Amino acid sequence: MLLRHTTTEIKDRTALTVNPAKTCQPIGAMYAALGIHGCMPHSHGSQGCYAYHRSALTRHYKEPVIAATSAFTEGASVFGGQANLMQAIDNIFSIYNPDVIAVHTTCLSETIGDDIPQIVNKAMAEGKVPVGKYVIHANTPSYAGSHITGFAGMTKAMVDYFAETASSRTKTVNLIPGFVEPSDMAEIRRMAAEMGLETIMFPDTSGVLNGPMTGKYRMYPPGGVTVEALRRTGSSLGTVALGHLASGDAARALDVKCKVPCQILDLPIGLGATDRFVDTLHRMAGVNVPDSLTFERGQMVDIIADMHQYFYNKRVGLVGDPDQLLALTKFLVSLDMAPVYLVSGTSAGKKFEKHLRAAVAGVPHEVKIKVGGDMYLFHQWIKQAPVDLLIGNSYVKYIAHDEDIPYVRHGFPILDRVGHSYFPTVGYRGGMRLLEKILDALLDRKDRDATDITFELVM
């Protein structure tokens, strides 16, 4: 047994987190910053933070992940990190020559109270920021929020620093994709393009964290939203933000700053959420939905109809980040599956919990939900009453292995498989991929457990 000490009996815990279902803000900020073209993410803290974040992102994407650090020592922690950040800015522009340095803070620099804009202003005054280059920042103390809110913070910083108010509106639609895979970002963009829309997506890690092997290493790959495009977000027709927690802040900031109206939707995971995404674009931009997308939708419905018997009433346990968890839960319910255990590590507020509860209102099982929970509790629930399927990140495989439950990897981080950075799970095509993954897991199990008599060729 891998998790041999996990007990069926649940004891109250108020102080100890065991097997977390979240990580800290800075890594989310780092990931978002990588979605700006020519950007060097910078961690203002001790070097362990950036080393851990780079390692985690590298393991997840199997791609180079660049970032720099202020490398605090004990002295800097006492006297403040100004000298370290100033030196870092100077070194980064001299040596790595990015267009943008995106600074995020850490628990260390936040606890001592470093004022990033003040330090950056000083660096600019001293000529350490070359003309035409930028230093932006987001406050991401690790003792608040999670990797998702850190992502949201850096995404909002893109608006705060770059979006420009214009006297007239263009026909462009801003797309804020949320903390999703590069493949998902590309798919969201593709669908909008299919509808004939001009879009600006930010952040956009496609082409950055799923790049090709060419024999030439490019520190700043061709992907990512450019500073020029970020400026123009302020004159766009509207913003479609996907995922309330990851994308809501930036969308609202753009509305406040540049009066760009926004629609904040669920992540387009599953049929219903994708329908709402497409319909929103259709109405916001006043364009027709092309037959090609309607065709893809029909294919997805076809799979659901053809294979419905295998989905029906299956009990599912899900661990995920709030935006993913809500969208996936709604999707599973729409398939007549029964999501019964729902855990998000990130605390996402009462409203989120209410939405989640509403999504499972019709599920004919007792549904347990913990927002701000951990995987230890999740595992204890499973020990009390098992499920037919698990969905979650790579850490869930320890539970799946111990309890012998079919398992689909989804979320962050995925450390032991490839595919997530190349093949989306959003949109109709992504939905079809998810359906395939769920069916593979369930039907492989059915095959495995069948007797010589009940083994089926056709399913």
Partner 1 sequence: MTETARSQTAPIEGPDPEKVKAELIAKYPPKVARKRAKQIIVNRLEPGDKVPEINANVRTVPGLMSQRGCCYAGCKGVVLGPTRDIVNITHGPIGCGFYSWLTRRNQTDPDTTPDGHNFMTYCFSTDMQEKEIIFGGEKKLKQAIQEAYDNFKPKAIAVFATCPVGLIGDDIHAVCREMKDALGINVFGFSCEGYKGVSQSAGHHIANNQIFKHVVGLDDTIGAGEFRVNLLGEYNIGGDAFEIERIFEKCGITTVATFSGNSSIDAFANSHTADLNLIMCHRSINYVAEMMEKKFGVPWIKINFIGAEATAKSLRKIAAYFDDPALTERVEAVIAEELPAVQAARDAIRPRTEGKRAMLFVGGSRAHHYQELFRELGMRTLSAGYEFAHRDDYEGRKVLPGVKVDADSRNIEELDVCQDPDRYRPRKTPAELAALSAKGLEFKDYQGMMPEMPEGSLVIDDISQFETDLMIEKYRPDIFCAGIKEKYMIQKHGIPMKQLHSYDYGGPYAGFKGAVNFYREIDRMVNSRVWGYLKAPWQTNPELAATYAWE
Find, among 160, 146, 147, the residue nearest to 117 by Cα. Answer: 160
Of the candidate spans 8-16, 117-125, 323-331, 441-449, the one that interacts with partner 1 by CB under 8 A turns out to be 8-16
User: Which pairs from 411-418 meet CB under 8 Å and 24+ separation?
Assistant: 411/319, 411/320, 411/321, 411/324, 412/60, 412/147, 412/179, 412/321, 413/56, 413/59, 413/60, 414/60, 415/59, 415/60, 418/62
Interface with partner 1, residue 7, by CB under 8 A: yes
What are the tokens at 203?
């952040």
Nearer to partner 1, 177 or 221 (CB): 221
- As measured in angstroms, the least distance from the Cβ of 91 to partner 1 is 3
Tokens encoding 331? 């999707």
Considering the complex, state which of residue 263 and residue 380 has its C-beta at the smaller distance from partner 1.
380
> Is residue 36 within 8 Å of residue 225, measured between CB atoms?
yes
Instruction: Write the burial class of residue 311 (CB in 10 Å: 0-12 exposed, 13-18 middle, 19+ buried).
Output: buried
Distant-in-sequence, close-in-space partners of 430: CB < 8 Å, separation ≥ 6: 184, 187, 268, 269, 423, 424
Write the CA distances from 34 to 40, 235, 347, 409, integer angstroms: 7, 24, 25, 23
Distance CA 169, CA 202 (A): 18
Residue 201: CB minimum distance to partner 1, A: 24
Pick 37 or 42: Cβ nearer partner 1: 42
Closest approach of partner 1 to the CB of residue 396, in Å: 13
CB of 458 to partner 1, least distance (A): 38
Distances (CA, A) of 446 to 60, 239, 306, 396: 30, 44, 17, 21
208 binds partner 1 (CB under 8 A): no
The count of chain residues that interact with partner 1, using the rule CB under 8 A, is: 81
Return the residues of window 67-106 that contact partner 1 according to CB under 8 A: 67-77, 84-85, 87-92, 94-96, 106
Q: What Rg, from alpha-carbon coordinates, does the chain have?
A: 23
Smallest CA-to-CA distance from 428 within 188, 254, 115, 181 is with: 188
Shortest approach of partner 1 to residue 114 CB, angstroms?
A: 12
Question: Strand 315-319's sheet: what is its strand order?
Answer: 368-371, 338-344, 315-319, 389-392, 407-409
Indicate the residue type of 34.
Answer: L
Q: Site residues for partner 1, window 308-347 (CB under 8 A)?
A: 345
Query: Would you say 78 or 458 has its CB closer to partner 1?
Result: 78
Q: Which stretch binds partner 1 (CB under 8 A): 16-24, 174-182, 239-247, 329-337?
A: 16-24
What is the length of the chain?
459
Two structure tokens written together for 83: 């000298």
393-412 binders of partner 1 (CB under 8 A): 395, 398
Instruction: Considering only residues 350 through 389, tell me which ones interact with partner 1, judged by CB under 8 A.
Output: 376
Between 331 and 381, CB nearer to partner 1 = 381
Angle ∠(434,373,112) on CA atoms, nearest 5 = 115
Residue 20 is classified by DSSP as B
Q: How far is the CB of 315 from partner 1 (least distance, A)?
A: 25
Is 127 a binding residue for partner 1 by CB under 8 A? The answer is no
Closer residue to partner 1 (CB): 46 or 236: 46
Q: Report the alpha-carbon distance of residue 270 to residue 265 in Å, rounded.
A: 13
Q: Is position 203 an interface residue for partner 1 (rule: CB under 8 A)?
A: no
Which residue's CB is nearer to partner 1, number 211 or number 392? 211
Binding mask 136-165 for partner 1 (x = CB under 8 A): -----xxxx-x-------------------
Single out the segment in contact with partner 1 by CB under 8 A; choices: 20-28, 251-259, 335-343, 440-448: 20-28
Nearer to partner 1, 147 or 297 (CB): 147
Which run of H or E residues covers position 138? strand 134-138
Comparison of 103 and 265: residue with beta carbon closer to partner 1:
103
Which 277-306 residues touch partner 1, going by CB under 8 A?
none
Considering beta carbons, is residue 352 or 376 the nearer one to partner 1? 376
What distance in Å separates the CA atoms of residue 175 and residue 197, rounded to the nearest whole number? 11
Q: Which residues, numbered 212-271, are part of the site for partner 1 (CB under 8 A)?
A: 213-218
Q: By CB under 8 A, is residue 119 in contact with partner 1?
A: no
Mark 38-67 with x for binding to partner 1 (rule: CB under 8 A) and - for no binding: ----x--xxxxx-xxxxxx-xx--xxxxxx
What is the number of other CB atoms lying within 10 angstroms of the CB of residue 143?
A: 10
Residue of the chain from 108, 271, 343, 439 that contacts partner 1 (CB under 8 A): 108
Of 49 and 389, nearer to partner 1 (C-beta) is 49
Min dist. Cβ of residue 117 to partner 1 (A):
18
Residue 450 binds partner 1 (CB under 8 A): no
